Amino acid sequence: MGSYFKNECIIKQPYGKWYFYEQILRIPVYVIFHPQTGTLGVYHLVDGKYEQQSPDENKRFYLESLNLFLGVWIGKKAEMETSWLRWWDKSGNLLLWGGELVAQERQRAEEAEQKAAKLTEKLQSMGINSEEI
């Protein structure tokens, strides 16, 4: 009995992440991203084993369960120019980060204000008070 316990302890080793996600948790999609090299690997669980997926012509991976594409975008965020993981919708439109959405909305508001100011100026040049409309 003592030797059985000893052998059992020798055999047991900690599992790596790959095995843990594939065999124990059975995570349907496993993504590995290396920001230093900008490489991205996507694996789908098929019949209990991960199979590496091929990217599309844009080097993006379609994740059907999310109805989104995942890919690498090279650009600047937080004052750092590097490779970033980004999402695209099914039409190929890049989904913006929160900061990008705020900047985009700020720009739209500024353009609307400029347009309103020009319209007010034009109405005034025609003798129309825009406050009375």
DSSP secondary structure letters along 96-118: PPHHHHHHHHHHHHHHHHHHHHH
Say if residues 75 and 64 touch (Cβ distance below 8 Å).
Answer: no
Residues 54 and 79 in one domain: yes
| pLDDT (tens digit per residue) in 37-77 | 999 999 999 999 999 999 999 999 999 999 999 999 999 88
Is there a single domain that holds both residue 83 and residue 120?
no
Q: Is 20 found in the same domain as 76?
A: yes
Please state the φ and ψ torsions of residue 58, each to the nearest 5 degrees: -95, 10
User: Is the entire prediction scored with pTM above 0.75?
Assistant: no
In the chain, how many domains are there? 2
The dihedral over CA atoms of 92, 93, 98, 101, expressed in degrees to the nearest 10, equals 180
One domain for residues 77 and 104: no
Tell me, yes or no, whether 44 and 61 share the same domain.
Answer: yes
| Parent domain of 100 | 96-133
Are 33 and 89 in the same domain? yes
Residue range 15-45, pLDDT digits in tens: 899 999 999 999 999 999 999 999 999 999 9
Same-domain status, 46 and 82: yes
Domain shared by 89 and 124, yes or no? no
